[in-house]
Chain A
Amino acid sequence: MARLLSNHLKSMRPSWPSKQTAMSLSVNVSECGRQAEVLLVRVGKSIIGVTVLLTIAGCGAQQAEFVNRDDIEVLIPEAQDHVREVLDTHFGHPTNMVLWERMPVQYHGAYGAFTETPAVEGETEVTTLNVSLVEQNLPIEPGQMLDWVSGKYAGQARPEVTSFDEAGNQIGIVPGLSVPPDAGDRFAIAPGAVITQGRILYAEHCQHCHGVTGDGNGPTAKYLYPRPRDYRLGKFKFTSTASSARANRDDLSRIIENGIPGTYMPSFKLLTPEENHAIVEYVRWLAMRGEIEFKLIQALKNDYSKEAVQSVVTSARESDSALSADDARKQVVADMEEYLNGDWLEEFNDDTKFQADQWKQAEDPSALVMPKVARVADTPESRARGRVLYLSAKAKCATCHGDSGLGDGSQTLSVQKNPATNADYDEPGLFDDWGNPLKPRNLTKGVYRGGRRPLDLYRRLHAGISGTPMPAFGTVLKDEEIWDIVNYVMHIPFEAREQRPGEGAGESRPATPEVATTETQGSLQVAN
């Protein structure tokens, strides 16, 4: 039998191993198989094409889109459309931003107004214009575009900047103009350069936590405690400004640079100052947009929520049974249109102006909280006075932060009222304005979110923390008293250690090097 096989195979041998070989022993090349083969080879070739296509797709732009607040859904569709339209008109989309001059955001490379320029006869190639810069965020370089923000050229083609004379405040543009713009007309150089850079950096560094709209609800956010800041109330916690004032640019920029200890907000120290500034401007822009959205919805919620309109329609039909539901609803919508085209315009105008002014005021040095009295010497006596104040009814620190600063005061166990709705929270404990549960700081840790300088602690006490139950003591306590508390609070972490002698390497402190190295001995002493 074996012999038979060998003989048989021997007869096949000449064809081995060329293509019609051993495989063809039982050859029955099915047509189907051949077709499949041809097809697969074609697939192989087209793979190269697909790869190229996908690569090109990869170079495509981001498709980030603003989404609206969830509570927009309570409004009737017409009102929702209005909110969206207002936001589109004044803010646009992430990739197609509208730069609203009213808002104090530094959008551009530079921004300013023309001063009087004498008219030049005839056509010139380059026109030199006298200007006065209001802000300059980036160096002005030839090749940048100039945008006519207002005046007779507004909306017309953008000329290119050819020169900039810093001393003489003169700017050259091409193509030249026969008639110069009027004095007072405003312009922007490198329009939108700062805010665009901010958006790109924001998408890289911030978006996955803080979200496209700054709602603090990016994909990573759900894993973080505390939650990332939701900018859309226009509120920031750790500011250097008075309790009623908003955050200023320095506050935001300092947080970006140093991070917030005790949270997941990391330090972005290695961003350049320009990059930091660009992000700050974009964040402010998002905050302004979010706040306007929030206020718009609040304003329309009362009369034009689905529920409110439904009840109006129902009551209208009760009084007039001939009225169809559709007509009744149309009436309400017509009322809304009338309101939106009338009174509302003025209200909106006033509100946004007020809001813009608040942001502007925060930049004013007068808005800064600065102690009038230097820090009281950090003596045991001062700390003792601080301790007394800490426990006193005047400052009431202990009610939240606890008698020994562990953040376990009595308030954390009782049910609080929501200051916005005046209703009780569902759960005991403290909440912030964003509705997130909040633990009072554990002061024994020595971790201070708003900064560890005495000045920072002073400011926390003086102006409180906006958006949280931490009150401002600036009016209640004298500067000296605040300093006493600061001295006491800064000493709490060490006090805890002094009270527990022998537990120096306590719970939050891993073993010290001395302890760790004793385990390994001998000639080859080990370094861990």
Chain B
Amino acid sequence: MSIATPTAEASHDGEHHAHVEDKLALLKKIHTFSTDHKVIGVQFLITTMLMLLVGGALALGVRWQLAFPWESMPFFGSLFAQQGGQISPEFYTMLFTMHATVMIFLVIIPILAGAFGNFLIPLMIGADDMAFPLLNALSYWFMWPAIACFGASFFFGGGPAAGWTSYPVLSAVQEAAPGSGMAQTMWLLAVTFVGVSSMMGSVNYMTTIINMRAPGMTLFRMPLTIWAMFITAILQAFALPVLTAAGFMLLFERTLGFTFFVPGGLVINNADPTTGGGQPLLWQHLFWFYSHPAVYIMILPAMGMVSDMLACMSRKPIFGYKPMVYSMAAIAGLGFIVWGHHMFISGMNPALGMTFMVSTMMIALPSAVKVFNWIGTMWGGRLQFNTVLLNAVAFVSMFIVGGLSGIFMAAVPVDIYIHDTYFIVAHFHYVLFGATLFGVFGAIHFWFPKMFGRTMSETVGKWHFFLTFIGFNGTFFPMHLLGVAGMPRRYADPYLHPYLEHLLPMNQFMTICAILMGFAQLLLLGNFLISIFVGKECSDNPWHANGLEWSAPSPPPHGNFPSVPVVYRGPYEYSDPAQPEGLDYWPQTEPPPAPA
């Protein structure tokens, strides 16, 4: 039998010096146009972690204004030289617009699909690389024009200031929003670049997963991470063209004088009346046709990764593997017919509101099934309380809140009241930060040893988790209450309205928590960067996990596996009593014992 097996001996037997050289193999190529999927994954990961800090800083600007309205802001105030150091209202608008934009387009989507998708897909299915390595590299490098365009948009006027949803007429007419001139155009260009980047990734993932699985890796032996990536790729492939088309329509409207979205006769900022016969709701439909599936693009991969982490750290098989797969497929399918729930009060046909309400309620079902299955997975397991598990449990715990608060919004009459209030803000932060980002933090700790052959510091990891979790809940849980109290989103100064005045102390508390949480991310970055060089060295399979990726060396060399791995079982056979050596794990590559 010449099946590739992990080279634990090598790492154990010494040759430390030579090994240390090896461990930085991925990092050393980070500046190159490498077509190795692992290098691209690491490139994505480091880029998005830096972008996470940028997005976080923008959010702190927003929080600052809400806690200390119109007072001089440290750093930002002097940086942007506003009169009196104030955050002016259009600067505030730019802050939250760019916060959302950076977090969605430059952090969450690329860190899930780009970083982990790239790094894990070939490793987990036993392929030597992606189907189209060059396309893969391009998908990373197309991020940079996007980052450049987003960055540049800061320096035109007040920056793009129509929210990340960029509803026309506000985003379409130059006079309507400060800086809406070149800034908004740059923003649209950047979104197009990100879209191209995602599209290249998604085509690649689908092809790779369908065609390049190792022998024995049947569809239902794939780890849930791969299922999630696969479904995400399908979602992207079908939803993105719509956004791209809408983006181009808006670009043409802004630059070439087309009218798709702006009706005639509007007088904005005292300019001449607009001409043409566009329809603003068209954009909302097109935008949400992409952006609602995008919400699932932003969580499905995290769901998959958390499933893997939970199974491994509970030393137990996934509870209900197939229901988990079907749930993800159902989320993806239903995800295409619920976009209208963003538009209940937008003036669209109220009959549509009813149908969208039913479909939206129904999409809560697969999410619920997944939650129950995660709890079922941990049930009766031997939980290993390390940073990975803590983050994964936080994912489940926060996702429950985010999922339940979604039901309020799905109910149209209730949505009349809470639409565009902080309740919505609380909801999507619980899903996107509470769930996705905690999942990502866990994934970083989980797969870091595979990337660099060392582990991240557990102590620091737990400190980071502790501070982030406290800060997160302190920041976002009270937002539910603000929403019920009727505080609208995107208000530079809610306290102008007497019925919101008493909420100032609560907002100050939330800002303190947000600052705490923001600084805690420095721990993650520090832990990540320092551990690359001085973290504890570890074997190829430090977690005693089953997945194929753990049978490759850490970091895997170009081509990943010394020879083509053969898969004998699913990825979650932990604590199987049938395991011949009595181990609590059973790697996918290990052949079953020969019948006696």
Q: Is A98 an interface residue (CB 8 A)?
A: no
Q: Is A211 an interface residue (CB 8 A)?
A: yes
Considering only residues 341-366 of chain B, those with a C-beta below 8 Å from chain A are: 347-351
- Interface centre among A4, A63, A262, by most chain B C-beta atoms within 10 angstroms, is A63
A33 touches B83 (CB 8 A): no
Q: Which of A40-48, A319-327, A416-424 contacts B (4 or more CB under 8 A)?
A: A40-48
B83 touches A23 (CB 8 A): no
Min Cβ gap A458→B in Å is 24
Taking CB atoms, residues of chain A closer than 8 Å to B534 are: 30, 32-33, 36
B535 touches A33 (CB 8 A): yes
Q: Is A515 an interface residue (CB 8 A)?
A: no
Taking CB atoms, residues of chain A closer than 8 Å to B386 are: 17
B457 touches A37 (CB 8 A): yes
Interface mask (B444-457 → A, CB under 8 Å = 1, otherwise 0): 00000000000101
Interface mask (B23-44 → A, CB under 8 Å = 1, otherwise 0): 0000000000000000000000
A7 touches B581 (CB 8 A): yes
Partner of B544, one of A9, A24, A60, A226: A9
Min Cβ gap A22→B in Å is 5
A8 touches B9 (CB 8 A): yes
Given contacts A1-B5, A2-B5, A207-B83, contact A60 B71 (CB under 8 A): yes
Considering only residues 1-29 of chain A, those with a C-beta below 8 Å from chain B are: 1-2, 4-10, 13, 16-17, 19, 22-29
CA distance A27 to B8 in the complex (A): 12
Min Cβ gap B22→A in Å is 12
Min Cβ gap A399→B in Å is 22
15 pairs of residues in contact across A and B, judged by CB atoms under 8 Å: A1-B5, A4-B5, A10-B582, A13-B583, A26-B11, A33-B530, A44-B464, A54-B74, A57-B74, A62-B84, A205-B496, A207-B86, A220-B178, A510-B263, A527-B350
CA distance A219 to B86 in the complex (A): 9
CA distance A264 to B271 in the complex (A): 12
B519 touches A47 (CB 8 A): yes
B3 touches A2 (CB 8 A): yes
Min Cβ gap A491→B in Å is 21
CA distance A70 to B499 in the complex (A): 42
Q: Is A507 an interface residue (CB 8 A)?
A: yes
CA distance A510 to B347 in the complex (A): 15
Min Cβ gap B325→A in Å is 28
B351 touches A58 (CB 8 A): no
A26 touches B12 (CB 8 A): yes
Interface mask (B514-526 → A, CB under 8 Å = 1, otherwise 0): 0110011011001
Q: Which of B88-96, B205-213, B282-290 contacts A (4 or more CB under 8 A)?
A: B88-96
Partner of A204, one of B175, B275, B493: B493
CA distance A444 to B543 in the complex (A): 77
CA distance A19 to B459 in the complex (A): 11
Write the residues of chain A forming the contact surface with B, with a CB cutoff of 8 angstroms: 1-2, 4-10, 13, 16-17, 19, 22-30, 32-33, 36-37, 40-41, 43-44, 47-48, 50-52, 54-55, 57-65, 203-205, 207-208, 211-212, 217-220, 222-226, 262-264, 270, 445, 506-510, 520, 524, 526-528
B519 touches A58 (CB 8 A): no
Q: Is B185 an interface residue (CB 8 A)?
A: no
A526 touches B350 (CB 8 A): yes
Taking CB atoms, residues of chain B closer than 8 Å to A43 are: 522-523, 526
Partner of A5, one of B2, B5, B157, B530: B5
Min Cβ gap A4→B in Å is 8
A1 touches B3 (CB 8 A): yes
Partner of B581, one of A10, A16, A510: A10
Min Cβ gap A132→B in Å is 37
Q: Is B202 an interface residue (CB 8 A)?
A: no
Nearest neighbor of B84 in chain A, beta-carbon distance: A64
Known: A2-B5, A223-B158. 19 other contacts (CB 8 A): A2-B1, A2-B591, A7-B581, A25-B12, A25-B538, A26-B539, A33-B531, A33-B536, A36-B534, A44-B460, A47-B520, A47-B523, A48-B516, A51-B519, A58-B64, A64-B84, A219-B83, A263-B270, A526-B351
CA distance A211 to B84 in the complex (A): 9
Considering only residues 540-579 of chain B, those with a C-beta below 8 Å from chain A are: 541-544
A29 touches B1 (CB 8 A): no
CA distance A104 to B88 in the complex (A): 31
Q: Is B428 an interface residue (CB 8 A)?
A: no
A208 touches B83 (CB 8 A): yes
- Interface centre among B71, B91, B179, by most chain A C-beta atoms within 10 angstroms, is B71
B90 touches A223 (CB 8 A): yes
Q: Is B6 an interface residue (CB 8 A)?
A: yes
Partner of A25, one of B11, B16, B458, B467: B11
Min Cβ gap B319→A in Å is 21
B457 touches A33 (CB 8 A): yes
B544 touches A40 (CB 8 A): no
Taking CB atoms, residues of chain B closer than 8 Å to A52 are: 512
Given contacts A33-B535, A40-B463, A219-B90, contact A507 B273 (CB under 8 A): yes
Nearest neighbor of A447 in chain B, beta-carbon distance: B267
A62 touches B175 (CB 8 A): no
B581 touches A6 (CB 8 A): yes
CA distance A338 to B269 in the complex (A): 51
Taking CB atoms, residues of chain B closer than 8 Å to A33 are: 457, 530-531, 534-536
Taking CB atoms, residues of chain B closer than 8 Å to A263 are: 270
Taking CB atoms, residues of chain B closer than 8 Å to A445 are: 267
B527 touches A223 (CB 8 A): no
Q: Is B255 an interface residue (CB 8 A)?
A: no
Nearest neighbor of B91 in chain A, beta-carbon distance: A219
Partner of B455, one of A7, A9, A10, A23: A23
Nearest neighbor of B16 in chain A, beta-carbon distance: A28
B175 touches A225 (CB 8 A): yes
B523 touches A51 (CB 8 A): no
CA distance A50 to B520 in the complex (A): 11
CA distance A196 to B175 in the complex (A): 35
Interface mask (B114-130 → A, CB under 8 Å = 1, otherwise 0): 00000000000000000
A220 touches B90 (CB 8 A): yes
CA distance A176 to B500 in the complex (A): 44
Partner of B72, one of A22, A50, A62: A62
Taking CB atoms, residues of chain A closer than 8 Å to B527 are: 40
A37 touches B88 (CB 8 A): no
CA distance A33 to B538 in the complex (A): 14
Given contacts A6-B590, A36-B530, A223-B158, contact A17 B265 (CB under 8 A): no
A62 touches B460 (CB 8 A): no
Q: Is B511 an interface residue (CB 8 A)?
A: yes
Nearest neighbor of A44 in chain B, beta-carbon distance: B463
Taking CB atoms, residues of chain B closer than 8 Å to A36 are: 457, 526, 530, 534
Taking CB atoms, residues of chain A closer than 8 Å to B263 are: 510
CA distance A292 to B516 in the complex (A): 48
CA distance A283 to B79 in the complex (A): 28
Given contacts A36-B530, A47-B519, A220-B89, contact A226 B3 (CB under 8 A): no
B265 touches A510 (CB 8 A): yes
Nearest neighbor of B354 in chain A, beta-carbon distance: A524
B536 touches A204 (CB 8 A): no
Taking CB atoms, residues of chain A closer than 8 Å to B349 are: 520, 526, 528
B82 touches A219 (CB 8 A): yes
Min Cβ gap B391→A in Å is 16
CA distance A365 to B350 in the complex (A): 56
B269 touches A225 (CB 8 A): yes
Taking CB atoms, residues of chain B closer than 8 Å to A24 are: 536
Q: Is B488 an interface residue (CB 8 A)?
A: no
CA distance A291 to B541 in the complex (A): 77
Partner of A58, one of B8, B68, B464: B68
Q: Is B415 an interface residue (CB 8 A)?
A: no
CA distance A3 to B21 in the complex (A): 29
Considering only residues 318-348 of chain B, those with a C-beta below 8 Å from chain A are: 347-348
Nearest neighbor of A13 in chain B, beta-carbon distance: B583
Given contacts A40-B523, A44-B463, A223-B157, contact A204 B70 (CB under 8 A): yes
Taking CB atoms, residues of chain B closer than 8 Å to A524 are: 351
- Interface centre among B83, B263, B539, by most chain A C-beta atoms within 10 angstroms, is B83
Taking CB atoms, residues of chain A closer than 8 Å to B86 are: 62, 64, 203, 207-208, 219
